[in-house]
Amino acid sequence: MEAIDLAEARDRELVLGIRRRDEEAFRGLFGRYAPGAKALAMRVVRQSHLAEEIVQEAFMALWRNPAAYDDQRGSVQSWLMGMVHHRAVDLVRREESYRRRAEKTAHQAMELESDHADAVVEQIGLPEERRRVRAALDELPEAQREVLERMYFDGMSQSQIAEATGLPLGTVKSRTLLGMRRLRAALVQEEP
């Protein structure tokens, strides 16, 4: 008990020295508690550079206002560690709040951007694209057009088309390949 009282008395003397602007007293208190304060901050923020900043802020607050320490409310050590802990928790909360706002803003920007892009494509390009694809499909032989329409408009797989039409799967695959080649050639040829 006496060792604790002696250490606390020494800490209070250092705080009194800081009130008199004694830099050696400040260095003494910093040297004594900064490592433990940094360890505490690290447990909360999990980043060394942030923990160091928190410790520096807490000790600078002590230097700027040493009268904030009230010896009736507890030890110097508990007061310092309390300041470090509060600053660390505040930083985590600010960072989390910032992250949520940034994610929300990014999400809203993406929605606006995609809505705008989709609207432009719908208004300008799609009707013309549809016309070109439909015209190219109409130029295909009936057997190839039927397979492609079932695949892309009805959502059927090649196996389902073979089953529905009674054609061998190989025939469906070759008609798909030939139809796609002709469709691509017709659309490339038609490009401005």
Whether 88 and 41 have beta carbons less than 8 Å apart is answered as yes
Judged by DSSP in three states, 1 sits in coil
Q: What is the CATH number of the domain that holds 29?
A: 1.10.1740.10
Judgement on whether residues 16 and 92 belong to the same structural domain of the protein: yes
Question: Does 122 reside within a domain?
Answer: no
pLDDT tens digit string along 126-179? Answer: 677 778 888 888 888 999 999 988 988 888 899 999 999 999 999 999 999 998
SS3 content of the chain, % helix, strand, coil (to 5): 85, 0, 15
Tell me the residue type at 109.
A
Judgement on whether residues 88 and 149 belong to the same structural domain of the protein: no
Residue 15 to residues 19, 40, 177: CA-CA distances in angstroms? 6, 21, 85
pLDDT tens digit string along 81-128? Answer: 999 999 999 999 999 988 888 888 887 766 665 555 555 556 666 677
Judgement on whether residues 6 and 90 belong to the same structural domain of the protein: yes
Judgement on whether residues 34 and 83 belong to the same structural domain of the protein: yes
- Between these two residues, 101 and 77, which has the higher pLDDT value? 77
Q: What is the CATH number of the domain that holds 184?
A: 1.10.10.10
Predicted TM-score (pTM) of this structure: 0.54
Residue 165 to residues 140, 147, 153, 159, 177: CA-CA distances in angstroms? 18, 9, 16, 10, 17
The boundaries of the domain holding residue 175 are 139-190
